[in-house]
Structure 1
Amino acid sequence: MGWGLGLAALTAVFAVTFYAYYLVSRVLDHCEAAGRRHIRFRELAADVLGSGWVFYVVVSVQTAINAGVTTGSILLAADCLKIMYSDLAPDGPLKLYHFIIIVAVVLALLSQLPSFHSLRHINLGSLILSFAYTILVSAACIRAGASSNPPAKDYSLSSSKSEKTFNAFLSISILASVFGNGILPEIQATLAPPAAGKMTKALVLCYAVVFFTFYLPAITGYWAFGNQVQSNVLQSLMPDEGPSLAPTWLLGLTVVLVLLQLLAIALVYSQVAYEIMEKNSADVAHGRFSRRNLAPRVALRTAYVAACALVAAALPFFGDIVGVVGAVGFIPLDFILPVVMYNMALAPPRRSPVYVANVAIMVVFTGVGVIGAVASVRKLALDAGKFKLFSDDVVD
């Protein structure tokens, strides 16, 4: 997308998602004030939109998002481990799927934590890791770009108008995944009541962190490598051919930080799937960790992680997976549904700026989602020629 459109798209998605999450928080507060407290996105949507089928649509979209994020996190974490391993042992016998198994085993063990609320310490650690990763990877990109032998960089765009258009909408779909959060009601439910006002403060704090951790790596990475920068910037910093473009200790520490961060992301996004599965398998007459409930809990959570790991190993299309999840999952759930629910629940006057802005966002991002889905499927078709079952390389 280049410097101008790229930063404009990043800023637009930044602003719209903040606004959309604020609207969801307002709708939750409105329903709670009316005596209907919701702790799940699917229940909130079904209540506001007044249709039973909405519940199942949101469940399906949330499930697709959670599975996609978990699969992508496992794949990216394994890819980071493989990049570091290949740098230390270029002729080593381990393949990508070996590292996927390692990550999946660790994630399956961590998945046995009791509840969403029990992840609060992991979330705090994730925040610290995000800051540390941002500083390290940005420093590495600046060092690489300013070195006496900098990597070749190209800021030009494709000469084909159709190619540029599809790439732009694919990029927006990927940005939607990056900023997406399909579990906001589940997060707000962990706040002590009354939640009104607290969630707004939390959003402001969250987006202050997001601004630092998203803009700095995006700007330094694109400056250092241009349009040749990889989805996983560590691949650009540690190319298959030639020496690493940053000190090994810095890259090694960065790999550890991003690995821990990805495990935290996968844990959070898996919780909705676990809750859905265990709602049907658990017996409320017995304790959560009774023999009756513990066995299916361990089996189902382990099976879910194993299934995501199998998909990651068999179909290592990281960039393509993120694009599809963004277009068909995050855009409907995080860009369209919030503005629709706000207009229906709080019913602002039809000529008010809020109502008009919400309708405009709904129309624009419905179009973006449809074209983004086409662009993502097109990218998958183009990358099919690179496909090899259980490939040792991640396809961007």
Structure 2
Amino acid sequence: MVFSWCFTCKHNLGWEEEARSVLLGRGEEGVPEAGSPEVNHVAGTSCSESGERVCSDDHLFVEIPDTAHQISQDSWFQVGFVLTTGINSAYVLGYSGAIMVPLGWIGGVVGLILATAISLYANALVAKLHEYGGRRHIRYRDLAGFIYGRKAYSLTWGLQYVNLFMINVGYIILAGNALKAMYVLFRDDNIMKLPHFTAIAGLACGLFAVAVPHLSALRVWLAFSTLFSLVYIVIAFALALKDGIEAPPRDYNIHGTKASRIFTTIGASANLVFAFNTGMLPEIQATVRQPVVENMMKALYFQFTVGVVPMYAVTFIGYWAYGSNASTYLLNNVHGPIWLKATANISAFLQTIIALHIFASPMYEYLDTKYGIKGSALALRNLSFRVLVRGSYLGITTFISALLPFLGDFMSLTGALSTFPLTFILANHMYLVAKKHKLTSLQKNWHWLNVCFFGCMSLAAAIAALRLIAVDSSFYHVFADL
């Protein structure tokens, strides 16, 4: 089934012909010809919020692929909180150790600022292509396939799956670490180990995945996510500030041999881009109300201004307080009342469950759409499907998380293998192809420079991340209790 979505209502039937002529005049943009599967109508009749005929940002017809999940239901503010949840998830508790320690003050601060700017730019490129070619691209792979063809569709889907799967692995590792840290506060008897807590975290994520059918259904959970984020960020900031004031001078040197420092620096650059990018921007943009591009840009500006402040604060204060000894889970460094540290850890655990659901939603949407899971979320067939399929997916994710619990290394490898290609290489090249007739020679050269530079960075970061995993694997056995 194909739905048409629209922003304004028109009653003048003559407007339809005018819009069609405008649409056909945009051939150089790659807009399909009238009568093709992509263009069957131009929205020109009256409509309501729940109607089937609506228009794009340009008041032209836009086709939307079939999906089992909700489309165009959320305000830009809600979408902004979805994006901010990704930035300020419990991963922020690891950036002091994973980014600042290998890069130092100058490299870390400059790197974070540059990563913020280039990430906003790259995400804006993808957001502006959301309605390219007369259709709404609600999945990243749909956009790549529309521009390049079937092979690019499959390649992009593979890269995105790797990206989201590894992000989810990292979230379950984080949740397990949070539970273990809380357990150690009260009973440091070594009976319960990290793999046990990882299994508990996976079970909790599975229950949440069954209860929340799709991304738009998060709504009130986003408020809880924000609350949980503020709790562990404020507590970590306050306790690290206290420790930093009371502690003797810290060591901020970058340690290791020259070769190891090169590899860790490259790996940290992958962590920089991982911190800001989801690799699923079209899927998130699909949930925003019309006008889609305008509202998504508002959400992005919110993400990269207000949204980055807490992340910056906790990252810098953690490195300032502990220097080169900063942990990849900051709550393991801080000192303070047990009840306060326990509150921070349980908040990190609960927020991670919500954040994981966001990054697992493209896989859920694919499976729900493929097998026709529509209608009431409480229908027996739909509920059983979520229990079986989502439970199996998270079961595999949990097993990998317990098997290889090297969080910093996973962040580096994810950034290298998928975040660099999806967010920077593909975004710049897609925009170059889509807008080639409107770009100046200078603009084209700029996009090609980005493609080549980030291609080299992706290759170098992948080598560095694999080296880190190999080194850590020589120190730790599988199912390690870190």
- SS of the aligned residue for 1:391 comes to coil
Equivalent of 1:197 in 285, 288, 294: 294
* Equivalent residue runs for 1:73-152 within 5 Å: 73-91=171-189, 93-112=191-210, 113-147=212-246, 150=247
CA drift of 1:119 comes to 1.6
What is the rounded CA distance, in whole Å, between the counterparts of 2:336 and 2:248 in structure 1? 12
CA drift of 1:117 comes to 0.9
CA drift of 1:200 comes to 1.0
Query: Aligned-residue CA RMSD in angstroms?
Result: 1.9
**Residue 240 (structure 1) aligns with:** none
CA drift of 1:128 comes to 3.3
Equivalent of 1:229 in 322, 326, 332: 326
Q: Does the CA-based 8 Å contact 2:182-2:346 persist in structure 1?
A: no
Does residue 1:171 correspond to 2:268, yes or no? Answer: yes
CA drift of 1:295 comes to 2.5
What is the rounded CA distance, in whole Å, between the counterparts of 1:129 and 1:88 in structure 2? 21
TM norm structure 2? 0.75
**Residue 277 (structure 1) aligns with:** 367
Q: Deviations over 1:256-295 (max 9, x none)?
A: 22112211111111111122233333466x8665444432
Q: Which amino acid aligns with 1:224?
A: A
* Equivalent residue runs for 1:336-347 within 5 Å: 336-347=425-436
Q: Deviations over 1:32-70 (max 9, x none)?
A: xx421111110011112x221111111111111111111
Q: Does the CA-based 8 Å contact 1:117-1:190 persist in structure 2?
A: yes
Larger of the two Rg values belongs to structure: 2
**Residue 114 (structure 2) aligns with:** 12
- SS of the aligned residue for 2:357 comes to helix
Q: Deviations over 1:195-246 (max 9, x none)?
A: 1311111111111233212211111111111122111111222xxxxxxx22
**Residue 161 (structure 1) aligns with:** 258
Structure 2: stretches of 5+ with no match in the other structure:
1-102
Equivalent of 1:24 in 126, 134, 143: 126
Equivalent of 1:215 in 309, 312, 328: 312
**Residue 351 (structure 1) aligns with:** 441
**Residue 43 (structure 1) aligns with:** 142
Percent of paired sites with the same residue: 29
Q: Deviations over 1:168-213 (max 9, x none)?
A: 1100111222112111111111111221311111111111233212
- SS of the aligned residue for 1:197 comes to helix
CA drift of 1:13 comes to 1.0
Q: Which amino acid aligns with 1:180?
A: N
Q: Which amino acid aligns with 2:204?
A: V
Q: Does the CA-based 8 Å contact 1:152-1:225 persist in structure 2?
A: no
**Residue 256 (structure 1) aligns with:** 346
What is the rounded CA distance, in whole Å, between the counterparts of 2:347 and 2:376 in structure 1? 36
Q: Which amino acid aligns with 1:266?
A: L
What is the rounded CA distance, in whole Å, between the counterparts of 1:55 and 1:99 in structure 2? 37
CA drift of 1:357 comes to 2.9
CA drift of 1:335 comes to 1.4
- SS of the aligned residue for 1:336 comes to helix
**Residue 75 (structure 2) aligns with:** none
- SS of the aligned residue for 1:388 comes to coil
What is the rounded CA distance, in whole Å, between the counterparts of 2:226 and 2:376 in structure 1? 32
Q: Does the CA-based 8 Å contact 1:282-1:293 persist in structure 2?
A: no
Q: Which amino acid aligns with 1:211?
A: V
Does residue 1:385 correspond to 2:463, yes or no? Answer: no
What is the rounded CA distance, in whole Å, between the counterparts of 2:258 and 2:199 in structure 1? 42
Q: Deviations over 1:110-165 (max 9, x none)?
A: 10112121123223332333333322211111111112xx2773111236332221
* Equivalent residue runs for 1:366-385 within 5 Å: 366-385=455-474
What is the rounded CA distance, in whole Å, between the counterparts of 2:458 and 2:248 in structure 1? 35
- SS of the aligned residue for 1:227 comes to helix
TM norm structure 1? 0.90
Q: Does the CA-based 8 Å contact 2:209-2:386 persist in structure 1?
A: no
* Equivalent residue runs for 1:236-251 within 5 Å: 236-237=333-334, 245-251=335-341
Q: Does the CA-based 8 Å contact 1:144-1:151 persist in structure 2?
A: no
What is the rounded CA distance, in whole Å, between the counterparts of 1:287 and 1:124 in structure 2? 24
Change (3 A) 1:382 1:116: same
Q: Does the CA-based 8 Å contact 2:169-2:398 persist in structure 1?
A: yes
What is the rounded CA distance, in whole Å, between the counterparts of 2:315 and 2:384 in structure 1? 44
Q: Which amino acid aligns with 2:258?
A: K
Q: Deviations over 1:332-374 (max 9, x none)?
A: 111111111111112243423x433322222221111110000
Change (3 A) 1:68 1:87: same
CA drift of 1:250 comes to 2.3
